[in-house]
């Protein structure tokens, strides 16, 4: 019993955990909003932004969760192991505080909780471009590259 | 008139054993207008003036759409969930081999969410998580999806999948996770940036992507000339994904 | 009208009662364990998959919900149709309705992919969705049942009793229509898309609710050594027969309609002829065990006034009803969706294949857990308030 109590006390002594700001500080001097504001209301910003993004397709980067992750979280630790929200170490930026205050979040059930490491194939082509990635840039589109469009006049002649 | 001719041409082509696309004589390349589909400014909401759609020419898909499926897998990271059994794996898109029972005529086509104008999945969703964006893209707002799977019961195309387990390291641009339903979303994240969906890029010779509401868009022109059949047209859902050679 | 007044009293909490109650809670506990397992691991541990999206838990849940609305029917017949012989049973019937509904809803909710987002289901409504309407209907049903019980138990509110009864009756009809429409509105599935499903569910609810009620009434009176006469049981007996026959009739109408529609012949042939286990369940489970045998038991003259034959008939109706829902819900999904009529299809996503479904232990635990919860609530309710008439002996009721 006493031992349990002691463990509990030690837990209390640990105090507020230091959130790991090093990755973010290396990239920018200042967060998108003042630090105090972010500490208090980051969830409001995320909540508003998520609906705007999913429902209206507004994809500004300022309050985007992806950008939070890109800036605040290093994909791997120094020993090369992956940093995840659910890790026992609780050194994921979000986990360090959320574990302490006991607020469960389900963001990372769906969202990636660390920046992407291995790049996927980079698709560069715009909707409006008339060349596809198979044809070399600047050249005229090849006939076989484009869908065949019927023309009634021509067809009338050929058939 | 033009449609009849188009069908006749295709029929002739099939008879002579030449793929429809091989007949170059009548091919007219409409000059694609540069601003056919302007990229939307990131801070502007999508508008209902556009409706995205896709026209897939089955005869020009040499692999039946397998490369499109692969591109989709790569883009969204589905299909290799570690714990799910094969029948529990998500499948946003698959190739279906169809053989007519009487004629034995056979073809293969890719099937995914058909982005209906009247989507049954949106009608049945109790929370509104299954939604149609203003620009006609049907998708799941996973933030309010409770995982009831009623949309999966309602979809005639079997386009939706349920995530049966905890996932990590998803694609940052395509969140997917436990207890929610998911499906093809026409690569919204790419469209909003003015890029083509991954599957369209993987099959550029067989697929046209564009704005169905704009009569001058390449896809509208192509559909006007050649038609564009729907799977299960009898349901009257007015799908955004159309096929040639069905 | 009788000169005698019916006297109600609480159920005596005997030793046997506590044993029963603990068994029910233990079963409900199994359901809770299953829920935490699903919540933690995900649905890959179940037999459900992307083809069979609704499985055994949904069969249990819909069974309980349908039976709940049917259980209230006993009270309604007394109130709305002024059949005084049913009035003493009114309180118990409303209690049973509440218990069964809570049990059923618990399963439905705990099987969700995101049961933790229940608050979203209550705050975001898509009014085009019959499912969203059902959420309102279920909550309203619970509230109305409580009001109804209140007007039955409190003399000061007796004036409101007929109104509460009428509203509860109308509400429950709409509720079952809504439950049937969950399937009836699925345009894409050949086995479901039919308006007949709504009245079929109502008939089914009458039969299942009554069968559950008869069994529980009988054993509760045995448990507490109260008297239960032939008059009451015989009334319930013939009522049960009518409801079972009505459900069978509507099911027949449904299949005949479907057989006339070329598009549906495939799935009908599967269920009725060559569906293996589903065909067996349909003919033996649903038609024979759930319909013909109970009807024979009820109408067999030699078994008149025989409580055990009525009891057996009720149990068979329950089994048959459960099987019917299983064939409907699972069987309807096992048959593949038809993308291209008159063509054979194959794909990596099991298109065109008959799907397999084998429920896992977790689905059984969750489903039975809901049943355990419903029974536990029912048992608790009878001890807390005066639901049970002291005696339902013939002499108490003859004058009615």
Q: Measured between alpha carbons, how far is C150 from C380 in angstroms, rounded to an integer?
A: 17
CB proximity B14 to C under 8 Å: no
B26 pLDDT band (50/70/90 cuts)? very low
Who contacts C11 (Cβ-Cβ below 8 Å, separation ≥6)? C17, C220, C223, C224, C379, C382, C383, C387, C388
Residues above pLDDT 90, as percent of chain C: 84
Cβ atoms of residues B168 and B80 within 8 Å: no
> Picking from A70-74, A146-150, B87-91, C335-339, which range would have the lowest pLDDT averaged per residue?
A146-150
* Residue C3 belongs to a domain: no
Predicted ipTM?
0.92
How close, in Å, is residue C48 to chain B by CA atoms?
8
User: CATH number of the domain that C108 lies in?
Assistant: 1.20.1630.10
The model's confidence at residue B215, banded by pLDDT at 50, 70 and 90, is: very high
Answer whether residue A105 is part of any domain: yes
DSSP letter assigned to residue C128: T
Confidence at residue B69, expressed as pLDDT on a 0 to 100 scale: 96
Tell me the nearest-neighbour CA distance from B23 into chain C, angstroms. 29
Of B102, B145, B231, which is closest to C114 when you measure between CB atoms? B145
Mean pLDDT of A23-42: 87
Lowest mean pLDDT among B11-20, B107-116, B143-152: B11-20
The model's pLDDT over C68-93, given as tens digits with 9 standing for 90+, comes to 999 999 999 999 988 888 889 999 99
**pLDDT at residue A156 in the model:** 33
Report the b/e string of C17-49 with b at 16+ CB within 10 A.
Answer: beebbeebbebbbbbbebbebbbebbbbbbbbb
> Span C85-108, mean pLDDT?
95
| Residue B38: band (very low, low, confident or very high) from pLDDT cuts 50, 70, 90 | low
Residue range C191-234, pLDDT digits in tens: 999 999 999 999 999 999 999 999 999 999 999 999 998 888 98
- Dump strand ranges (E) for chain C: 8-9, 227-228, 343-347, 388-389, 391-392
Domain positions in chain B are 31-244
Which residue from A59, A86, A152 is facing B42, i.e. has the nearest CB?
A59
How, if at all, do strands C343-347 and B93-100 pair? antiparallel
Q: State the residue range of the domain holding C89.
A: 8-337+346-397
Residue C32 resides in a domain: yes
- B11 pLDDT band (50/70/90 cuts)? very low
pLDDT reported for residue C379:
96
Q: A148-157, B108-117, C153-162: lowest mean pLDDT where? A: A148-157
Distance in angstroms (rounded) separating the CA atoms of residues B172 and A116: 7
Task: State residue A155's pLDDT score.
Answer: 34
Calculate what percentage of chain B has a pLDDT beyond 90: 77
Mean pLDDT of C186-191: 90
Q: What is the mean pLDDT of residues C121-125?
A: 90
Total structural domains within chain C: 1
Let me know if A90 is exposed, middle or buried by CB neighbors in 10 A (0-12, 13-18, 19+): middle
In A, which residues are within 8 Å of B218 by CB distance? Answer: 147
Q: Which of B196, B211, B242, B245 to mutate to test the interface with A (most CBs of A within 10 A)?
A: B196
pLDDT at A54 over 80: yes
Predicted confidence (pLDDT) per residue in C348-358, tens digit:
999 999 999 99
pLDDT for A89 equals: 85
Touching subunits for chain A (3+ Cβ pairs under 8 A): B
Which chains share 3+ C-beta pairs under 8 angstroms with C? B
| Mean pLDDT along residues C167-176 | 94
Q: What are phi and psi of C346, to 5 degrees?
A: -145, 150
Chain segment A93-134, per-residue pLDDT in tens: 999 899 889 999 999 999 999 998 765 443 334 444 443 333
pLDDT tens figures, A1-28 = 445 554 444 445 556 777 778 788 888 8
Tell me if chain C has a CB within 8 Å of the CB of B91.
Answer: yes
Q: Dihedral sign, CA of B240, B111, B161, C193?
A: positive
Does a structural domain hold residue A60?
yes
Of B123, B144, B149, the CB nearest to C54: B149
Given a cut of 70, is residue B192 above it in pLDDT?
yes
| CA–CA separation, C279 and C285 (whole Å) | 9
Number of domains in chain A: 1
Q: What is the pLDDT of residue B23?
A: 34
| Six token digits for residue C183 | 């399937």
Contact C187 B235 (CB under 8 A): yes
The answer to whether C214 touches C220, Cβ cutoff 8 Å, is no
In a domain, A147, yes or no: no
Which residues of A, range 8-27, sit inside 8 Å of B by Cβ? Answer: none
**Residue C2 falls inside a structural domain:** no
> Structurally, what CATH architecture does the domain formed by B31-244 represent?
2-Layer Sandwich (3.30)
Neighboring chain B residues of A149 at a CB cutoff of 8 Å = 27-30, 221-222, 225-226
Asked whether residue C315 is assigned to any structural domain, the reply reads yes
Q: With respect to residue A132, please indicate whether it lies within any of the assigned structural domains.
A: no
Q: Which two tokens stand for residue C65?
A: 């919900």
Percentage of chain C surpassing pLDDT 70? Answer: 98
Task: Report the SS3 class of residue A117.
Answer: coil
In a domain, A26, yes or no: yes
**pLDDT value, residue B5:** 55
Instruction: Assess if residue A46 is contained within a domain.
Output: yes
pLDDT-derived band at B37 (thresholds 50, 70, 90) equals low
| Domain span at A33 | 18-110
Q: Which residue has the higher pLDDT, C110 or B39?
A: C110
Q: What is the mean pLDDT of residues C300-323?
A: 93
């Amino acid at each position: 019993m006493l031992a349990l109590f002691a463990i509990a006390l030690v837990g209390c002594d640990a105090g507020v955990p230091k959130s790991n700001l090093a990755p973010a500080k290396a990239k920018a001097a200042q967060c998108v909003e003042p630090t105090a504001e972010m500490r208090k209301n980051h969830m409001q910003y995320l909540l508003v932004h998520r609906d705007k993004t999913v429902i209206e397709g507004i994809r500004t980067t300022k309050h985007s969760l992806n950008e939070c992750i890109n800036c605040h979280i290093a994909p791997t630790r120094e020993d090369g192991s992956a940093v995840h929200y659910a890790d026992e170490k609780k050194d994921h930026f979000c986990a360090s505080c959320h574990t302490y205050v006991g607020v469960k979040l389900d963001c990372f059930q769906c969202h990636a909780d660390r920046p992407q490491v291995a790049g996927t194939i980079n698709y560069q082509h715009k909707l409006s471009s008339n060349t596809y990635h198979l044809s070399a840039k600047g050249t005229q589109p090849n006939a076989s590259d484009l869908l065949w469009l019927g023309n009634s006049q021509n067809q009338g002649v050929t058939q | 008139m033009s449609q009849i001719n188009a069908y006749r041409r295709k029929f002739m082509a099939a008879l002579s054993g030449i793929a429809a696309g091989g007949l170059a004589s009548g091919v007219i390349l409409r000059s694609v207008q540069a601003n056919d589909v302007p990229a939307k400014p990131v801070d502007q909401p999508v508008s209902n003036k556009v409706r995205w759609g896709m026209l897939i020419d089955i005869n020009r898909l040499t692999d039946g759409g397998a490369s499109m499926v692969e591109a989709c897998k790569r883009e969204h990271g589905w299909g290799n969930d570690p714990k799910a059994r094969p029948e529990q794996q998500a499948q946003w898109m698959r190739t279906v081999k169809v053989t007519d029972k009487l004629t034995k005529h056979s073809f293969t086509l890719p099937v995914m969410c058909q982005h209906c104008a009247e989507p049954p999945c949106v009608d049945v969703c109790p929370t509104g998580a299954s939604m149609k964006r203003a620009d006609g893209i049907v998708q799941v707002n996973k933030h309010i999806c409770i995982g009831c799977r009623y949309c999966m019961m309602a979809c005639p195309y079997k386009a939706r999948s349920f995530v049966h387990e905890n996932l990590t390291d998803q694609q940052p641009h395509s969140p997917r996770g436990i207890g929610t339903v998911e499906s093809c979303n026409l690569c919204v994240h790419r469209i909003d940036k003015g890029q083509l969906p991954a599957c369209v890029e993987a099959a550029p010779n067989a697929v046209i992507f564009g704005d169905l509401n704009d009569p001058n868009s390449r896809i509208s022109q192509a559909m006007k000339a050649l038609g564009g059949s729907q799977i299960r047209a009898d349901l009257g859902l007015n799908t955004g994904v159309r096929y040639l050679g069905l | 009208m009788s000169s005698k007044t019916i006297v109600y009293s609480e159920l005596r909490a005997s030793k046997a009662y506590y044993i029963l109650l603990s068994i029910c809670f233990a079963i409900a506990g199994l359901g809770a364990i299953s829920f935490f397992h699903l919540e933690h691991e995900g649905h890959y541990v179940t037999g459900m998959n992307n083809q069979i999206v609704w499985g055994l838990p949904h069969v249990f849940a819909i069974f309980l919900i349908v039976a709940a609305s049917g259980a209230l029917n006993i009270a309604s017949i007394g109130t709305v149709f002024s059949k005084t012989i049913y009035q003493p049973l009114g309180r118990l019937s409303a209690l049973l309705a509440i218990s069964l509904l809570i049990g059923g809803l618990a399963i439905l909710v705990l099987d969700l992919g995101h049961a933790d987002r229940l608050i979203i289901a209550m705050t975001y409504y898509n009014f085009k969705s019959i499912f969203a309407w059902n959420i309102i209907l279920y909550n309203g049903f619970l509230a109305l049942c409580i009001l109804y019980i209140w007007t039955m138990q409190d003399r000061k509110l007796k004036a409101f009793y007929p109104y509460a009864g009428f509203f509860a009756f109308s509400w429950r009809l709409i509720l079952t229509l809504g439950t049937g429409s969950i399937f009836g509105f699925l345009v894409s599935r050949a086995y479901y898309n039919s308006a007949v499903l709504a009245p079929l569910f109502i008939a089914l609810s009458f039969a299942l609710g009554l069968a559950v009620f008869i069994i529980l009434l009988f054993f509760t009176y045995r448990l507490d050594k109260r008297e239960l006469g032939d008059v009451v049981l015989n009334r319930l007996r013939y009522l049960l027969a009518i409801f079972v026959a009505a459900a069978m009739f509507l099911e027949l109408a449904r299949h005949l309609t479907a057989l006339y529609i070329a598009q549906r012949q495939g799935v009908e042939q599967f269920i009725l002829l060559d569906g293996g286990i589903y065909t067996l369940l349909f003919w033996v489970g649903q038609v024979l065990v759930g319909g013909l045998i109970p009807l024979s038991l009820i109408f067999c003259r030699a078994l008149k006034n025989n409580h055990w034959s009525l009891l057996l008939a009720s149990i068979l109706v329950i089994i048959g009803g459960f099987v019917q829902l299983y064939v409907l819900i699972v069987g309807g999904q096992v048959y593949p969706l038809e993308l291209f009529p008159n063509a054979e299809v194959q794909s990596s996503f099991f298109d065109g294949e008959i799907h397999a479904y084998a429920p896992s232990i977790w689905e059984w635990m969750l489903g039975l857990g809901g049943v355990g919860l419903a029974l536990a609530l029912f048992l608790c309710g009878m001890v807390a308030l005066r639901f049970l008439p002291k005696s339902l002996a013939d002499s108490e009721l003859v004058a009615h």
